[in-house]
Amino acid sequence: MKAKEFFNGVKDSIPVAVGYFSVSFGFGVAAAGIGLTFLQAALMSFTNVTSAGQFAALSVIVAIAPLINMFLTQLVINSRYALMSLALGQRLGSKFGIASRLIIAFYNTDEIFAIAMQREKPLTKSYMFGLGPMPVLSWTLGTFLGAVAGSLLPPSISSALGVALYGMFVAIVVPNAKKDKTMLVATAISAILSIIFFFAPYLKNLTGGISVVIVTVVSAAVCAALFPEED
């Protein structure tokens, strides 16, 4: 493993780790609010690393719903990761074996995916292994501390912490959209479709996971047709 590449991955993951801490802190507060212990909340974050999925899971837990409800909820909300893994897997190349891909898949979140896909240099094992640890640890630590402090913060503050995740993702996408016409078009199409899915009758009743998958597929298909890559 090349140390320089590993620390390049660590350096690129720092903004994600900072953003994850604030968002996971809010999750920890919410988890403590429904009766989860500090360790239960932290373990949940460490083994999942998915903001939307975990917040949805809290609702299922509160409702004391059957396990099949939890399974279906997570399957729908996190189905977008299947698309991300397919795209990222094509860039990893043959040097990445099954074990390496499974490790990377564990922490392949929206933001990690965006950073990896926007990198102009080839993706190496050292870089990808450096990209994951800090966000995962930050997500877990933030959850633990949020659960500890859950009884001390008013709901308005804990809810406001969730905005940080969206601001962080905008900071990742916008600079590259300015330089890359394809990304700019994909971002614009995604934004327009997301607004339609949020307000349009019937469409607004779809779950967040399904709408994200549809928006992703349509945006990617349009850009693939408009801006095909040469072999």
Determine, yes or no, domain membership for 129. yes
Residues 131 and 95 in one domain: yes
207 pLDDT exceeds 70? Answer: no
Determine, yes or no, domain membership for 170. no
Cα(24)–Cα(32) distance, rounded to whole angstroms? 12
224: containing domain? 180-231
209 pLDDT exceeds 70? Answer: no
Please, which pLDDT band fits residue 165 given cuts at 50, 70 and 90? Answer: low
pLDDT computed for residue 215 by the predictor: 83
Which of 44-48, 127-131, 169-173, 180-184 is the least confident region?
169-173
Residues 47 and 83 in one domain: yes
Please, which pLDDT band fits residue 127 given cuts at 50, 70 and 90? Answer: very high
Whole-angstrom distance between the N-terminal and C-terminal Cα of the chain?
A: 30
What is the residue-averaged pLDDT of the chain?
85
Cα(131)–Cα(133) distance, rounded to whole angstroms? 6
Residues 150 and 94 in one domain: yes
pLDDT computed for residue 12 by the predictor: 93
Distances (CA, A) of 79 to 38, 52, 201: 28, 12, 23
Q: Is the whole-model pTM more than 0.85?
A: no
Nearest Cα neighbor of 81 from 61, 111, 59, 38 is 111
Residues 15 and 122 in one domain: yes
Please, which pLDDT band fits residue 227 given cuts at 50, 70 and 90? Answer: confident
Would you tell me the crossing angle of helices 110-118 and 80-92 to the nearest 10 degrees?
Answer: 30
**Which tokens in the block code for residue 46?**
């460490």
Cα(160)–Cα(167) distance, rounded to whole angstroms? 12
The letter for the amino acid at 106 is: F
169 pLDDT exceeds 70? Answer: no
Residues 144 and 209 in one domain: no
Determine, yes or no, domain membership for 143. yes
Residues 49 and 85 in one domain: yes
**Which tokens in the block code for residue 143?**
């959850």
Count of domains observed in the chain: 2
Residues 64 and 121 in one domain: yes
Determine, yes or no, domain membership for 171. no
pLDDT computed for residue 48 by the predictor: 92
159 pLDDT exceeds 70? Answer: no
Tell which wins on pLDDT, 85 or 165. 85
- Averaged pLDDT for residues 21-40: 87
Tell which wins on pLDDT, 71 or 172. 71
Q: Which of 108, 136, 162 is the last residue of a domain?
A: 162
Q: Which of 133, 162, 191 is the last residue of a domain?
A: 162
Determine, yes or no, domain membership for 169. no
20 pLDDT exceeds 80? Answer: yes
- Averaged pLDDT for residues 8-20: 92
Residues 157 and 197 in one domain: no
Residues 209 and 115 in one domain: no
